[in-house]
């Protein structure tokens, strides 16, 4: 609501300033404002360590495609010539470790794990030391997403964050929240909740197909200043693409126009 009201106020000012009478003339102006808002003042590319291991921490609730996103990014980074390792920090969800192992096998990268139910922070500790000994460039860390038990989950994430920083003081170099594009307002609440404990640096938007607008990322960008780093467009290994704000806003309006024509 705050984002929408702010945009409406800006559009009213533009109508007066440019003496616009045709509503159709507002669409390109609104597009420009949304693109500028999504871009922000910073580069949306991934941040890497100047030397040594780069650590990317992934957070998000169950079912948003977090583990799949990690696998896709591992594939992308490996294809760029980087040595990649995965840390199976989601030790509570049934099948989570096995799912990450499957991705490790598909991509051809090592996965550091412990038994189901183990302390996730201990997994991260082992993974960091294994990454150091094996000369890994990028360590991708999975985490649990049991939002129904908020207090324990957030304490767990905070512990993971502290262990990573203790072993590599400038890590994690990215703390990425994975969001389902169909979520809406709940996504903003998730971003606030996870951001309090892990110092989020960006978003990955999944399930962004022809039926999902994902417009909530505009509100998240404005209220929390978090850029979208990647979007997931399907189930294949190559279906993870860098976020393009112009393309995203263009798709929003294309779908809007198609819906209006259908009506």
Concatenate the DSSP letters of all residues of 34-54 into one string. HHHHHHTTS--SPP--SSS-E
* Statement: 54-262 belongs to CATH 2.60.40.10: no
What pairing do the DSSP bridges indicate for beta strands 228-232 and 240-242?
A: antiparallel
Listed residue (127, 143, 159) closest to 91, CA to CA: 143
Tell me the DSSP string of 190-245: HHHHHHHHH---EEEEE--STT---THHHHHHHHH---EEEEE-SSSTT-EEE--H
Q: Tokens for 86, please give them.
A: 């995965």
pTM for the model: 0.86
Q: Which of 32-41, 103-112, 178-187, 231-240 has the highest mean pLDDT?
A: 103-112
- What percentage of the chain has pLDDT greater than the value 70? 89
Listed residue (241, 195, 257) closest to 220, CA to CA: 195
Residues whose CB is less than 8 angstroms from the CB of residue 258 and which lie 6 or more positions away in sequence, other chains included: none
Give the tens place of pLDDT for each residue, 175-212.
999 988 777 777 777 888 787 766 889 999 888 765 55
Average pLDDT over residues 84-93: 94
Q: Is the confidence at residue 155, as pLDDT, over 70?
A: yes
Listed residue (245, 204, 250) closest to 73, CA to CA: 204
Q: Is the confidence at residue 262, as pLDDT, over 80?
A: no
Q: Where in the chain is the domain with CATH 3.40.50.300?
A: 54-262
Q: Report the distance separating Cα 218 and Cα 99, nearest Å.
A: 31
């Amino acid at each position: 609501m705050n984002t929408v009201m702010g945009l409406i106020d800006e559009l009213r000012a533009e109508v007066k300033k440019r003496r616009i009478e045709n509503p159709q003339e507002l669409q390109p102006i609104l597009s420009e404002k949304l693109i500028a808002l999504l871009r922000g003042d910073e580069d949306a590319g991934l941040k890497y360590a100047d030397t040594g291991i780069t650590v990317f921490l992934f957070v998000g609730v169950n079912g948003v495609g977090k583990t799949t996103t990690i696998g896709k990014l591992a594939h992308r980074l490996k294809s760029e010539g980087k040595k990649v390792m995965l840390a199976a920090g989601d030790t509570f969800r049934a099948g989570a470790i096995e799912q990450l192992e499957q991705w490790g096998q598909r991509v051809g990268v090592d996965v550091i794990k412990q038994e189901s139910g183990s302390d996730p922070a201990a997994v991260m500790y082992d993974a960091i030391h294994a990454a150091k000994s094996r000369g890994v460039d990028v360590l991708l860390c999975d985490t649990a997403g049991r939002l129904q038990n908020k207090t324990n989950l957030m304490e767990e994430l905070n512990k993971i964050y502290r262990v990573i920083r203790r072993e590599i003081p400038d890590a994690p170099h990215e703390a990425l929240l994975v969001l389902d594009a169909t979520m809406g307002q709940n996504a903003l609440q998730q971003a606030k909740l996870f951001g309090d404990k892990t110092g989020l640096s960006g978003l990955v938007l999944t399930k962004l197909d022809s039926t999902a607008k994902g417009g909530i990322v505009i509100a998240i960008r404005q209220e929390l200043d978090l850029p979208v780093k990647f979007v997931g467009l399907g189930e294949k290994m190559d279906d993870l693409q860098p976020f393009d704000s112009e393309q995203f806003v263009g798709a929003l309006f294309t779908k809007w126009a198609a819906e209006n024509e259908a009506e």
